[in-house]
Each structure stands twice: as C-alpha cells, then as structure tokens.
C-alpha cells in the first residue's frame, strides 16, 4: 500500500511541477474548435470552448497541488501551535483550546463555506484559507493527545528536571515522537484538501477562472450535451479519475503510516 | 466519503475517537477520564446555542447583496421602482432599523417561535421549514439505518479477523470510500443509475400527482428514497466501520474472551454475543455524533437528488439572499447538531460504565 | 423563458437533454402516460412549476412566471391573443377617445368565486389599492397616475389621463388583475396575505387545486362556471423539471411542454425536437440579449466613447454565435431593439469585428501599450484594467472569450463571475466597472417588447436603475423617449423610436453582444395551440403561457374550442 500510494503522490507532484512542459496546449484556448473528438493533436478532444481537455487536466494538477501544499502548511502551523500549547500547558489553556476545537468540529461545514465564499468572494486564496480553517482542529487534537501521552510518560518532566528549556524539549523529545503521528495525519489532511477544493470548485464556490479538476467536473456536468457522442467519457471521466486517484494516493500513504492500521504493527493486548 | 473531519462530543473526547479516520487503540497511558457534571454540559450547550443564534443573524447580513436588491430585480422594466419604493420595502422588511434593533426583533420572534416571512415567497419560514423537516429526517434516519446495517457487521468481521486478508480488504475498501468525495459518488450514481439506466426516479420524494394512498404511497416514497439513502448510508458507514473495527480490536485481548475460549465456547458465539456487544458502546456514541457531519452530506444529497429537505431550502434561500429563510434553515440545522451532541454527551456517560469513575 | 434568480442552477443540465433521450423510462415519474389526449376529452397539460415565486395571489407573487400563474386565477380588463391585440376580457367592451385621454370600459356579468358580483367599484378599488400600496406588486409596479377614475353605474368605468400614453392599454388595462373590494379592503398588509385562501378569490378561469411548496408542484383546475365558458384545458399541472433541465424532462415524458435555456441552445439539443414529428416547436427570435454595460459614472476610459467602441469591435460576435450556439442567435444591434421587434431600425451604426479598428481607436484615445503585445495604460500611466462582472448563469465559455478578446487589444479585464443577487446589488448601486448579464431580468419583457422599454435603459431618469446604462445622459434621447410614449400615431412613433436607436448606437453607453431565441417544444397530441404573444402579455412577458390559449384552446379570439 505504501508503495502504491507514494508512487501516485510522486507522479502527481511531477505532473504538477512540470506541467508547462508536459501540457501540449495552453489551458485556455478560447477560439479553438469546440467539441472535437479525440485525435493525436487533442488526446481527449476539446471542450465547449475549444480548449484541449488533456492539457487542462495537466494544468489542473497545478491548482490542486498549490492548494494541497498551502492548506497543509496552514493546518500544520495552526494545529501544531494549538495542540502543543494545549498539551504542554494543560489546565485552563488546554480546556479553552479544546472548547474551541469542539466548536469547530461541531459546526456544519458546508453552509458556512457557502456563506464565506459568497461573502469573501471566490478565489483560490479563499478556498485555501477555508480548507485550512476547517481541518486544523483534528491535527490539533492529535498533537495534543500525543503531547499528553508524552507528558504522562515523564520524559518531559525529567528533561525539565535536568534543566532543559522548553525548546530543547520540543526539539529532542516532542518532534521525534510527534513526527510520525503528525505525518500520518497531515497526509490525510492533504487528501482531504484535494477533496474539499474539488468540492468547492464543483459547487461553483472556487475561483471561476482557475483550471481545477473540480471545476472541470462541474463544467462538464453542467453541459447539456454531456451524454452525446461519448463526451462524458473524454471530459468527465478523466477529471473524476484524476481526482479520485490523487485522493486515494494520499489515503494509501496515510493508512500505511498509521500504526494501528498497518496490520503488521497492530498488536493485540 | 466524509468531506470533512469527524465530529466529537462537546467536551473531552473519548479516546476511541480522534482525528479523521484514525482510531487510537486505547492504551494504559491515556490520561484518566473524568465525567463532566451535567450542568457543565448544559451550560456549554446554552452558550453555544446563543453563539449560533447570533452568528446566524450576522452572517447573512455580511454577505454582499441584500434581499431588497434581489426583490427589486424581479420587477418589470416599466415598473416604478424609485427611491420611494425601495424605502417602503426596506421599511417593510425592517432593514432600515439599526442592526441591534433588528437583532432584538429577531430574538423576540424566536421566543415566540416566529421565524419570520420569507422575502421571496412571503410565506412563513416556520411553515415552509416544517413542510421539509419531515423529509430530511426521513432521509437521515434511513441513511443511518443503512449505514449501521453495512458498517457494523463489516466492522465486527474485520476486527475479529484482524490482519488477515478479509480485514485488509475491508479496511482498504472503506478507507478509500471515506476519502472519495460524496458529491462525486452521488453525481456518478445519479448519471449512471438514473439518467442512463433509468433504474430510479429522477428526484423528489414522491411521484408528483401520482395520487397514491396507503401502501402504494409508502412504496412510492420508498422508491424515491432508496438511492439517496443508500448513498448517505455509505457515507456514514465508513467512519462507523472504523470505530467498530477498532473497538473490536480493543476487545480482542480481553480476559473474558480468553476465558471463554478456554471454556470451549464456539467462535461464533464469542464473536457476536460477547465481543461485539461490548464493542458496540463507542460505536453507539459515534452514530449519534455523526449527526453534524451528516448535515453536510445530506445537503449534497438533497441537492443532487432534488430531495425536498431543509438543506435544499437553505441553498435556494442563499441564492435569493432571503435573510429570514437562510436564518431559519441555518438555525434549525446548527441547533439540531448541537442538541444531539449534548444528548449524546449526557447519555453516553451513563451508558458506558468504563468512562465513569 | 425568463429564469428567476438561480433556481437550482447547481443542477444545471446534469444528465443533459441527450441523456434523457437515452432514458429508458422516467421510472414512473410520468404523471399520466398520456401521449395523446383521447378525442372528446379536454387535456391535462403539464408544465414547469415555480412555487419558489410565491403564493399566486396578486400581491405575493414575484417575477414573470409568478405573474402568469396568478393570471390563471385573476382576470384583467383586457387581454391579448396571438395577434397581439388586446381583447375585451373582463370588460365586455372598450372604447378610447380620439385624443387617447379617455378610456371607457363596460364590465361583463361576472361573479367572484364567493358568489358576489363584480362591479365597477371593484375596478376603482383595485386601481386605488395598487397606487396606495406602493411596493406591491413588484412586477406591475405602481400604475401611472391617471387624472381621474370614475365609475358610472354598476358596470362602467372611465379612466381619464392627463397625457396620451401608448402603454396605458397594455400596462394597466391588460396587466392589472382586478381584485374584490370586499376581501382586500380589510387587508392592510397585502404581502402578509400569503397562504390565506381568501386571497385567491378571483374571477379567473382556474382555481388552485393543490400546492406543495417543498416538492415544488401546483395543480390548477378549470372552473366550470367561467364567464367565457368552461376552459378548454381541463387541468394544468406544474412540476419541477428533473435535473433542472426542462427539455430533458419533456423528452422523458415528464412534461408536455418545455422551454430551452435563455442563454441559447445548440442545434444538438434542439434537433431531437425539431426532427421528431410528435413534437411541435415554436421560436421567438431575439427574446433575450446579452448586454455589456459600462459604468460611465466612473469616468476615465469607461466614459470615453472610443474605448467603448473599441471594446465592441474587439469581440467577434459572429464567431461566438457559430461556435457556442451553432448559429441560434443574432448579432446584437447597437440600437438595443432586436430585428424581430416591429420598431427595429436596421440603419444604425454597426460595430463589426475588427481588431485593427479597435486598436486604432485605443491608440487614438491615448491608451498606449506598455510593450508590444502588452496591456495598455491610461494617459496618466495607470493600467487600463477593469473589473468585469459576469452573471454566473452565463456559460464560462463566453467569459473566456470576452477575456481573451479584450486582452488581445490590450484591455486588461479582471473577470469575476458572481451570482445574481450580488450582480443586481452592484448594478443597482452602480458599484461596477463593466458588467455582462442576461436581459431581460426575471421580470419579462425583452428586446422585442414595446419601445417604452428604452426608457429603462437609456433615459437619464429611469424608473429603476436595474437595466439602465449607468451615467448616460443624452437630452435628445430623453426628449424622444418622453415624446414617443405620448405619440398615438404609429408612423410618427416609429420615426421617433428609429431616431432613438440611431442616437444610442452612436453613443454606445451599453453594447448588446448578441440575441438568443426563446425556444419552446411541446407534445402535439396533448396540446398544440401554443404561441408567443407578439409584444408579450401582461407587463410584456415573452412566454407561451398566455392564458388565452389555455382557456380557448386556440390561438385567437375568445371562442372556446370544442374538444
């Protein structure tokens, strides 16, 4: 599983980074012949405005990639900060932080996303911020939980007892121990970002002019001709597959990293 | 298929539920549990509800565009809509009052159970929501039942046969399912099963003007319900499966099982009658907690299948900047979520003797 | 068909019209499987529903579809048929004085649903009620003030105007539904009467048999005692289109008649209906247009005629029509009125696709390119860059083409797709640079309507800023618009309207990109008399849902066809 997942993620990153060289056509060609079928020139034909579908798929990976990287970074930053603080400080700070997390987790996301998108306008930045905003709570929890465990085990207090400063503790003890757990969690978050971004684009809440897989699906599905001439096969299916594949890739890696899911490391008591 | 993360009860989390998709095996190093006294839970609940009510009031007003513009845009070319008209309308809908005044009026209306009048249909929001709540509930309950029917047996089996091929396959399947976006699966299902193959009716809760009564009516509703509920159920099932499995795994090392095996009890009896039953508790919590996540999924499903529920209503309201309708629907949804969470929080403690001290 | 605000646009065409052709069965959702109305029986017709638009009382509906639903329950004094001529409807006779100032009508012998007789007092009350309750109904708005309104006797009403008004007949007599005094005189807040069954007491040919707001369906049944006779169409069922695609639902058997999208449809979508003998089709050319507005109030390039002309020259509209719509539309006239409009003036200034001309105009205006192929700048050095709002009901493809076309001549646009409420908001508050939207709005009317619509677009003091060219003011145009509404002589009025079109084509405060046609398909064997009313019915609604056709079953007159 780990191998398959990693392969997918690497391929995805490769395509995203080298898109300008891989894509045979620019993302938008507003004066091309539309609804063309597959040909050597256009591997998947052209869309309703004459742009090459295959190229748009490649360019779309860039958008997804950007979103994933940025959103995951935000989640890492906030989640780590909140989780560490809550776990280390304990007491009131911990309770307060967890209350906030609970409130976030208890809110129905979609209505809020729609509100915010309509309010703040539709752009990639808004999408990224929203994804980050709604996924950091779980990372914070994981971090906090792990920190608490460590605290329980006495590493921290003994290190402190030896006169270690907080940063030293964080560096030498927390990070190595937190690392794997966070990594696994972040990979899940990455997969989630892909899915949410596509969802927003699909609902029309993403950047309307950005080329994204979700937006492509939305555009294809909204076209009344989608079922004529196998249009769906070359327009809708590839975008859906790309999306699914990316998400599955992240999931596989996340699962492989998660100790309790890995059957080999699972131990019965 | 959950597009978001997993919910948790307000308050400390039981350590079987953590981040999305991850369930920690309970370990001895976990911090001791404390039962939260009920009045704390209630207090938090009240505060949350008030916060939600206020948020609910504020958000629509922050959105660009307002109901008056939307309404005036409906007018004819020659219709006289001058400043006088606009002023009259603004006054009629109380939008000329200051925000605090509007807020007070809004709160007052709430205490009387009056959710206002929709600016688009001029009907009572309360009535309109009332006509839809039933359908949303039906969809939700059906989805829950289906999810339980799928997730529990699969989770039990997977946990019992941990690490073997069956477990790996099921795990892989459900994890993938969990990360597939629900709108994608639903859209695909709709296009394939409804549009192309015509196996299911294209939307709505009943056949319009069908005039069915009695048993035929029930069948008709069922026919329209099955596909959306199935998709919803699949969406819920993924997380329930994981919790069930993890809970089973935790049970596996228990002494009583060892004792039971020593006594010679059949595997099957051990598996279902003892282990599964004990493993059920956390799952029951989770099922209750799914509610808040369920809202998002339900909204997607209602839209794609044109199911006449509260989620669809809210979307239409947003499209019209219909403040009262938006507020009413959003309020209903969020308060239900918080209430269910509270209920689970209060009840769960009673159910699971292991979490009380 | 005019679509109100974003009703289920998220489902837009999912599945598709062609998909419906592939549909093996509508899985039982076809109300009656009737492909043919049995001879001797009056038909039940299934059309698209609009419960979102409010309860069908005269003060609680919204938008054009809301209006025509309400028209099934309430009558007006006059009403047009397929000739466009206003027939005496609730009135038994109508005469106008030669100077157009006095309009006299006699009422028929009609009773309200609750048995009371309709009197002239009801008409007078209705008119006063509308004028005093200023914001209802929004569609009709406040009727123009008349100098006096007299009732002579039980059944005669006389309107006296201050000045002749060519729109009075259609806008008041043909639009204002008459309501019973004994019901509404006790109601001070007409909009709160929503869902009050008493609010539906009218004289109309149908009564509301059922209404389910959540599932979005309504049913109307013909009244046997209707004053013209029992209506031909026995029952009208309104149901939501499956997948938000009326044509697909029609093809699948869920509807008996459906309209194509206002933004135009390609031949691939329309062909199944044109080629199949069991469907009839009707088209109304030029029913919708896509105008590009410039906010002249903001000055700078927007207020510069050369800039606006250059923008229009930069867009290849023929290409758009060919590639996006397979030719189902016409290039927009700078004079605003569509070729199908009887008042259309063909000899107005034209703006063919010409990049060289566009570049020349921009160069002449002093908007220099910062680098060859780069964007232009204003004379003060600031970039020539504007935000272009585009309605999200307009296909992305058009947005992409506009973006690229303008960029090609050095005009940088920041394209933003926004939803309708926000679009109306920015338009009404003049908070935009450039804007492209669908015209007409949800209210009906359109480029083929009565030329009085030019007032809303080009007059410096329009009744509402919704469709008006922001910041445009031409005193000569104002004068002509004020003149044409009072000119009773048709030829003279045509001359005045021609002149208006020529002037606005020169000034180009707003550029009509292109027109699309309203397309309507129906099952011939269920009901086949559908037509588009020339000039529209009521406040100028271009829809085939003229109640005259439901009532009589034929295209002209008030004689009811025998089944």
Tens of pLDDT along B127-171?
888 889 989 989 988 998 999 899 888 888 888 887 788 888 888
Helix (H) / strand (E) containing C222: strand C217-222
Using an 8 Å CB-CB cutoff, list chain C residues near A204.
Answer: 10, 392
Residues C206, C291, single domain; the answer is no
Q: Indicate the pairing of strand C385-391 with strand C376-377.
A: unpaired
Q: Is C272 on the interface with A (CB under 8 A)?
A: no
> DSSP string of C153-195?
SSSEEEEE-SS--TTHIIIIITT-----HHHHTT-S-GGGGTT
Per-residue confidence (pLDDT) for residue C88, from 0 to 100: 94
Both tokens of residue C340? 């199908």
Of C258, C3, C22, C15, the residue nearest A223 (C-alpha): C15
User: C102 lies in a domain?
Assistant: yes
Residues C301, C177, single domain; the answer is no
Residue C140 to residue B79, Cβ atoms within 8 A: yes
Q: Which domains does chain B have, with CATH numbers?
A: 131-356 (1.10.3720.10)
Both tokens of residue C484? 């044409």
Residue C192 to residue B195, Cβ atoms within 8 A: no
C-alpha dist (Å) from residue B56 to A143, B118, B293, C222: 31, 15, 19, 44
User: C273 lies in a domain?
Assistant: no
**CB proximity list for B70: less than 8 A, separation 6 or greater:** B119, B120, B320, B321, B322, C5, C420, C421, C424, C425
Q: What is the rounded CA–CA span in Å between residue B54 and residue A106?
A: 16
User: C270 lies in a domain?
Assistant: no
Per-residue confidence (pLDDT) for residue A158, from 0 to 100: 74
Q: What is the rounded CA–CA span in Å between residue B165 and residue B170?
A: 9
CB burial class (10 A; 0-12, 13-18, 19+) of residue A10? exposed
Q: What is the rounded CA–CA span in Å between residue A202 and residue A78?
A: 27
Of C292, C316, C217, C351, the residue nearest C509 (C-alpha): C292
pLDDT band at B353 (very low <50, low <70, confident <90, very high): low
User: Rounded to the nearest 10 degrees, how much is the dihedral formed by the CA atoms of C479, C484, C485, C487?
Assistant: 120
Residues C335, C475, single domain; the answer is yes
Both tokens of residue C25? 């069965």
Q: What is the rounded CA–CA span in Å between residue B70 and residue B94?
A: 16
Residues C348, C483, single domain; the answer is yes
> Which chain B residue lies closest to A110 (C-alpha atoms)?
B296
Q: What is the rounded CA–CA span in Å between residue C134 and residue B87?
A: 10
- Fill in the DSSP letter of residue B124: B
Strand partners, B124: B117
Residues C207, C302, single domain; the answer is no
Nearest to C392 among A204, A209, A228 (CB): A204
Per-residue confidence (pLDDT) for residue C236, from 0 to 100: 94
Q: What is the rounded CA–CA span in Å between residue C497 and residue C501?
A: 6
What value does the mean pLDDT take over residues B245-261? Answer: 74
pLDDT digits (tens, 9 = 90+) for B16-51: 333 333 333 333 333 444 455 667 777 777 877 787
| Buried/exposed C153-187: b ≥16 CB within 10 Å, e otherwise | eebbbbbebeeebbbbbbbbbbbbbbbbbebbeeb
Residue C421 to residue B72, Cβ atoms within 8 A: no
CB burial class (10 A; 0-12, 13-18, 19+) of residue C24? exposed
Residues C348, C492, single domain; the answer is yes
pLDDT band at B351 (very low <50, low <70, confident <90, very high): low
Residue B168 to residue A141, Cβ atoms within 8 A: no
Q: What is the rounded CA–CA span in Å between residue C422 and residue C218?
A: 30
Per-residue confidence (pLDDT) for residue A231, from 0 to 100: 81
Nearest to C213 among B70, B131, B206 (CB): B131
Domain containing C414 equals 285-517
pLDDT digits (tens, 9 = 90+) for B81-140: 566 667 777 777 777 778 888 888 888 888 887 888 787 777 788 888 888 998 998 998
Q: Which domains does chain A have, with CATH numbers?
A: 2-15+49-268 (1.10.3720.10)
Residues C457, C337, single domain; the answer is yes
Is-contact B107 B53, C-beta < 8 A?
Answer: yes
Phi and psi at residue C435, to the nearest 5°: -155, 135
Residues of chain A with pLDDT under 50: 261-269
Per-residue confidence (pLDDT) for residue B355, from 0 to 100: 46
Is-contact C205 C156, C-beta < 8 A?
Answer: no
Residues C126, C230, single domain; the answer is yes
Residue C24 to residue B197, Cβ atoms within 8 A: yes
Helix (H) / strand (E) containing C428: helix C420-428
For testing contact with chain A, the best of C11, C19, C242, C263 (most A CBs within 10 A): C19
Other chains touching B, judged by 3 or more CB pairs under 8 Å: A, C
Residue B20 to residue A119, Cβ atoms within 8 A: no
Q: What is the rounded CA–CA span in Å between residue A93 and residue C512?
A: 61
Using an 8 Å CB-CB cutoff, list chain C residues near B211.
Answer: none
Residues C141, C59, single domain; the answer is yes
Most confident of B48-57, B175-184, C372-381: C372-381
Is-contact A70 A188, C-beta < 8 A?
Answer: no
Per-residue confidence (pLDDT) for residue C46, from 0 to 100: 92
Residues C294, C170, single domain; the answer is no
C-alpha dist (Å) from residue A184 to A9, A142, A181, A257, C476: 14, 10, 5, 5, 73
Both tokens of residue A175? 């990070």
Is-contact C205 C69, C-beta < 8 A?
Answer: no
Is-contact B209 C239, C-beta < 8 A?
Answer: yes
Is-contact A30 C404, C-beta < 8 A?
Answer: yes
Q: The domain spanning residue C87 has which CATH number?
A: 3.40.190.10
Residues C329, C252, single domain; the answer is no
User: C534 lies in a domain?
Assistant: yes
Is-contact C511 C414, C-beta < 8 A?
Answer: no
Nearest to C22 among A118, A221, A227 (CB): A227
3-state secondary structure of A234: helix
Q: How many CB atoms lie within 10 A of CB A33?
A: 12
Phi and psi at residue C415, to the nearest 5°: -85, 125
> Which chain A residue lies closest to C247 (C-alpha atoms)?
A224
ipTM metric: 0.79
In what side-by-side order are the strands of the sheet with C217-222? C44-48, C235-239, C217-222, C206-212
Residue B56 pLDDT exceeds 50: yes
- What is the pTM for the complete model shown? 0.83
Residue with tokens 């569509």: C338
> Which chain B residue lies closest to C14 (C-alpha atoms)?
B191
Both tokens of residue C314? 């930069």
- Helix count and strand count (H, E) for chain B: 13, 0
What value does the mean pLDDT take over residues B1-8? Answer: 36
Residue C62 to residue B71, Cβ atoms within 8 A: yes
Is-contact B232 B2, C-beta < 8 A?
Answer: no
Each of the 563 residues of chain C gets a pLDDT tens digit; together they read: 333 333 333 333 333 333 333 333 333 334 344 456 677 788 999 998 866 777 888 888 777 788 889 999 999 999 999 998 999 999 999 999 988 899 999 999 999 999 999 999 999 999 888 877 755 555 665 667 788 888 988 899 999 998 888 888 888 898 889 999 999 988 877 777 777 778 899 999 999 998 887 788 889 999 998 999 999 999 999 988 877 788 888 888 889 999 988 888 889 889 999 999 999 999 999 899 999 999 999 988 999 999 999 999 999 999 999 999 999 999 999 999 999 999 999 999 999 999 999 999 999 999 988 888 788 988 888 889 999 999 877 888 899 999 999 999 999 998 888 877 788 888 888 999 999 998 887 666 789 888 988 998 999 988 778 889 999 999 999 999 999 999 989 999 999 999 999 999 999 999 999 999 989 999 999 999 999 998 888 888 888 999 999 999 999 988 998 88
Using an 8 Å CB-CB cutoff, list chain C residues near B199.
Answer: 27
- Fill in the DSSP letter of residue C64: H
Per-residue confidence (pLDDT) for residue A130, from 0 to 100: 82
Residue C539 to residue B77, Cβ atoms within 8 A: yes
Residue B76 pLDDT exceeds 90: no
Q: The domain spanning residue C415 has which CATH number?
A: 3.10.105.10
Residue C397 to residue A221, Cβ atoms within 8 A: no
State the nearest Cα–Cα gap between A11 and chain C, in angstroms. 30
Of B178, B185, B243, the residue nearest B2 (C-alpha): B178
Q: What is the rounded CA–CA span in Å between residue B246 and residue B236?
A: 16
CB burial class (10 A; 0-12, 13-18, 19+) of residue B192? exposed
State the nearest Cα–Cα gap between C359 and chain B, in angstroms. 36
Q: Is C416 on the interface with A (CB under 8 A)?
A: yes
Q: What is the rounded CA–CA span in Å between residue B272 and residue B251?
A: 12
Is-contact A168 A235, C-beta < 8 A?
Answer: no
pLDDT digits (tens, 9 = 90+) for B295-339: 778 888 888 888 888 888 887 787 777 778 888 888 888 778 777
> Which chain A residue lies closest to B296 (C-alpha atoms)?
A110
> Which chain C residue lies closest to B220 (C-alpha atoms)?
C28
User: C136 lies in a domain?
Assistant: yes
Residue B15 pLDDT exceeds 60: no
Q: What is the rounded CA–CA span in Å between residue C444 and residue B236?
A: 45
User: C272 lies in a domain?
Assistant: no
Residue with tokens 């093809």: C251
Domain count across chain C: 2
Phi and psi at residue C283, to the nearest 5°: -130, 145
User: C451 lies in a domain?
Assistant: yes
User: C343 lies in a domain?
Assistant: yes
Residue C141 to residue B78, Cβ atoms within 8 A: yes
Is-contact C35 C252, C-beta < 8 A?
Answer: no
Q: Indicate the pairing of strand C385-391 with strand C412-418.
A: parallel
Q: Indicate the pairing of strand C44-48 with strand C235-239.
A: parallel
Residue A224 to residue C403, Cβ atoms within 8 A: no
For testing contact with chain C, the best of B90, B199, B200, B208 (most C CBs within 10 A): B208
Relative orientation angle of helices A175-202 and A231-257, to the nearest 10 degrees? 160
First-residue to last-residue Cα distance in chain A: 25
Phi and psi at residue C236, to the nearest 5°: -120, 120
Per-residue confidence (pLDDT) for residue B1, from 0 to 100: 40
> DSSP string of B279-311?
HHHHHHHHHHHHHHHHHHHHHHHHHHTT--SHH
Q: What is the rounded CA–CA span in Å between residue B70 and residue C274?
A: 36
Per-residue confidence (pLDDT) for residue C454, from 0 to 100: 92
Helix (H) / strand (E) containing C306: helix C305-313
Is-contact C44 C255, C-beta < 8 A?
Answer: no
Q: Is the peptide bond before C137 cis (omega within 30 degrees of 0)?
A: yes
Both tokens of residue C337? 């009125």
Residue B19 to residue A109, Cβ atoms within 8 A: no
Phi and psi at residue A65, to the nearest 5°: -60, -50
Using an 8 Å CB-CB cutoff, list chain A residues near B21.
Answer: 188, 254, 258
CB burial class (10 A; 0-12, 13-18, 19+) of residue C152? exposed
Residues C194, C63, single domain; the answer is yes
Strand partners, C376: C369
Per-residue confidence (pLDDT) for residue A119, from 0 to 100: 64
Other chains touching C, judged by 3 or more CB pairs under 8 Å: A, B
């Amino acid at each position: 599983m780990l191998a398959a997942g990693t392969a997918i993620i690497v391929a995805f990153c490769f395509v995203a980074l080298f898109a300008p060289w891989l894509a045979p056509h620019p993302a938008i060609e507003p004066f091309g012949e539309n609804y063309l079928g597959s040909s050597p020139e256009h591997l998947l034909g052209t869309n309703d405005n004459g742009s090459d579908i295959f190229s748009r798929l490649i360019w779309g990976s860039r958008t997804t990639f950007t979103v994933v990287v940025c959103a995951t970074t935000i989640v890492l930053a906030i989640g780590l900060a909140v989780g560490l603080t809550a776990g280390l400080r304990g007491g009131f700070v911990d309770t307060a932080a967890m209350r906030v997390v609970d409130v976030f987790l208890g809110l129905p996301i979609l209505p809020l996303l729609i509100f915010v998108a309509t309010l703040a306008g539709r752009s990639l930045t808004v999408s990224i911020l929203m994804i980050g905003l709604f996924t950091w709570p779980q990372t914070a929890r994981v971090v906090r939980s792990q920190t608490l465990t460590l605290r329980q085990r006495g590493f921290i207090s003994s290190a402190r007892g030896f006169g270690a400063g907080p940063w030293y503790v964080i560096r030498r003890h927390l990070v190595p121990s937190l690392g794997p757990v966070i990594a696994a969690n972040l990979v899940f978050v990455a997969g989630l970002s892909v899915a949410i971004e596509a969802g927003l684009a699909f609902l029309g809440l993403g950047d309307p002019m950005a080329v994204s897989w979700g937006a492509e699906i939305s555009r294809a599905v909204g076209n009344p001709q989608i079922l004529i001439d196998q249009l769906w096969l070359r327009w809708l299916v590839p975008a859906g597959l790309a999306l699914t594949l990316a998400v599955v890739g992240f999931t596989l890696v996340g699962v492989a990293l998660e100790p309790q899911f890995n059957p080999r490391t699972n131990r019965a008591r | 298929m959950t597009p978001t993360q997993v919910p948790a009860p307000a308050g400390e989390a039981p350590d079987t539920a953590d981040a999305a998709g991850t369930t920690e095996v309970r370990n001895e190093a976990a911090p001791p549990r404390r039962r939260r006294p009920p009045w704390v839970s209630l207090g938090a609940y009240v505060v949350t509800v008030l916060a939600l009510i206020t948020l609910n009031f504020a958000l629509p007003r922050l959105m660009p565009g307002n109901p008056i513009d939307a309404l005036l845009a409906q007018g004819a070319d020659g219709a006289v809509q001058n400043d006088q008209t606009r002023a009259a309308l603004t006054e009629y809908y109380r939008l000329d009052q200051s925000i605090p005044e509007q807020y007070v009026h809004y709160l007052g209306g709430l205490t009387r159970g009056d959710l206002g009048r929709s600016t688009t249909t001029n009907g009572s929001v309360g009535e309109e929501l009332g006509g839809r709540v039933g359908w949303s509930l039906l969809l939700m309950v059906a989805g829950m039942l289906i999810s339980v029917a799928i997730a529990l047996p699969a989770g039990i089996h997977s946990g019992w046969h941990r690490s073997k091929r069956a477990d790996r396959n099921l795990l892989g399947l459900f994890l993938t399912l969990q990360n597939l976006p629900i709108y994608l699966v639903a859209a695909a299902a709709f296009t394939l099963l409804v549009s192309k193959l015509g196996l299911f009716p294209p939307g709505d809760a009943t056949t319009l003007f069908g005039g069915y009564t009695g048993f035929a009516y029930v069948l008709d509703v069922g026919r329209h319900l099955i596909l959306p509920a199935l998709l919803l159920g699949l969406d819920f099932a993924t997380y329930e499966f994981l919790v069930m499995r993890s809970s089973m795994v935790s049970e596996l090392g228990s002494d009583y099982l060892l004792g039971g095996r020593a006594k010679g009890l059949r595997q099957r009896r051990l598996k279902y009658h003892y282990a599964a039953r004990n493993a059920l508790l956390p799952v029951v919590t989770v099922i209750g907690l799914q509610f808040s996540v369920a809202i998002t999924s339900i909204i997607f499903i209602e839209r794609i299948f044109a199911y006449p529920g509260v989620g669809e209503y809210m979307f239409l309201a947003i499209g019209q900047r219909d403040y009262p309708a938006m507020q009413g629907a959003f309020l209903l949804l969020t308060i239900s979520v918080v209430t269910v969470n509270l209920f689970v929080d209060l009840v769960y403690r009673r159910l699971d003797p292991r979490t009380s001290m | 068909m005019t679509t109100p605000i974003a009703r289920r646009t998220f489902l837009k065409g999912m599945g598709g019209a062609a998909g419906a052709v592939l549909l093996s069965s509508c899985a039982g959702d076809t109300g009656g499987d009737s492909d043919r109305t049995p001879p001797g029986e009056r038909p039940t017709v299934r059309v698209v529903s609009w419960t979102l638009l409010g309860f069908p009382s005269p003060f609680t509906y919204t938008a054009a579809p809301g209006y025509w639903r309400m028209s099934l329950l309430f009558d007006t004094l006059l009403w047009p048929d397929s000739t466009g001529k206003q027939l005496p409807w609730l009135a038994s006779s109508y005469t106008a004085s030669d100077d157009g100032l006095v309009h006299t009508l006699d009422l028929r012998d009609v009773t309200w649903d609750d048995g009371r007789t309709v009197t002239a007092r009801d008409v007078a009350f209705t008119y006063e009620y509308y004028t005093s309750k200023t914001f209802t109904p929004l569609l009709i708005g406040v009727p123009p003030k008349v100098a006096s309104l007299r009732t002579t006797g039980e059944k005669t009403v006389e309107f006296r105007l201050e000045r002749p008004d060519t729109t009075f007949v259609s806008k008041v007599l043909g639009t204002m539904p008459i309501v019973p005094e004994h019901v509404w005189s006790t109601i001070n807040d007409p909009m709160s009467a929503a869902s009050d069954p008493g609010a539906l007491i009218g004289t109309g040919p149908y009564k509301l048999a059922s209404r389910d707001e959540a599932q979005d369906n309504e049913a109307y049944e013909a009244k046997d005692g209707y004053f013209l006779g029992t209506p031909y169409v026995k029952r009208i069922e309104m149901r939501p289109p499956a997948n938000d695609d009326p044509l697909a639902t029609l093809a699948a058997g869920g509807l008996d008649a459906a309209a194509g999208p206002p933004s135009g449809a390609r031949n691939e979508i329309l062909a199944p209906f044109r080629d199949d003998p069991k469907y009839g089709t009707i088209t109304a050319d030029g029913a919708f247009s896509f105008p590009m507005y410039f906010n002249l109030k903001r000055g700078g390039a927007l207020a510069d005629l050369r800039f606006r002309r250059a923008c229009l020259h930069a867009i290849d509209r023929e290409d758009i029509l060919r590639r996006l719509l397979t030719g189902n539309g016409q290039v927009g006239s700078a004079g605003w009125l569509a070729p199908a409009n009887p008042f259309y003036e063909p000899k107005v200034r034209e703006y063919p696709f010409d990049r060289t001309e566009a570049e020349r105009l921009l160069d002449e205006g002093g908007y220099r390119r910062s680098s060859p192929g780069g964007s232009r700048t204003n004379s003060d050095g600031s970039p020539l860059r504007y935000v272009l709002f585009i309605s999200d009901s307009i296909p992305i493809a058009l947005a992409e083409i506009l973006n690229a076309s303008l960029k090609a001549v050095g005009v940088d646009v920041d394209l933003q797709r926004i939803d309708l409420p926000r679009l109306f908001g920015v338009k009404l508050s003049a908070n935009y640079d450039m804007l492209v939207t669908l015209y007409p709005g949800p209210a009906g009317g359109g480029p083929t309507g009565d030329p009085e619509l030019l007032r809303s677009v080009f007059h410096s003091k329009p009744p509402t800023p919704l469709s008006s060219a922001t910041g445009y003011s031409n005193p000569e145009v104002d004068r002509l618009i004020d003149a044409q509404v009072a000119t009773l002589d048709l030829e003279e009025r045509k001359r005045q309207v021609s002149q208006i079109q020529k002037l606005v084509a020169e000034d180009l405060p707003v550029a009509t990109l292109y027109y699309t046609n309203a397309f309507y398909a129906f099952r011939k064997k269920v009901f086949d008399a559908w037509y588009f009313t020339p000039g529209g019915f009521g406040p100028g609604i271009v829809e085939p849902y003229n109640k005259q056709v439901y009532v009589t079953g034929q295209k002209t007159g008030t004689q009811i066809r025998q089944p």
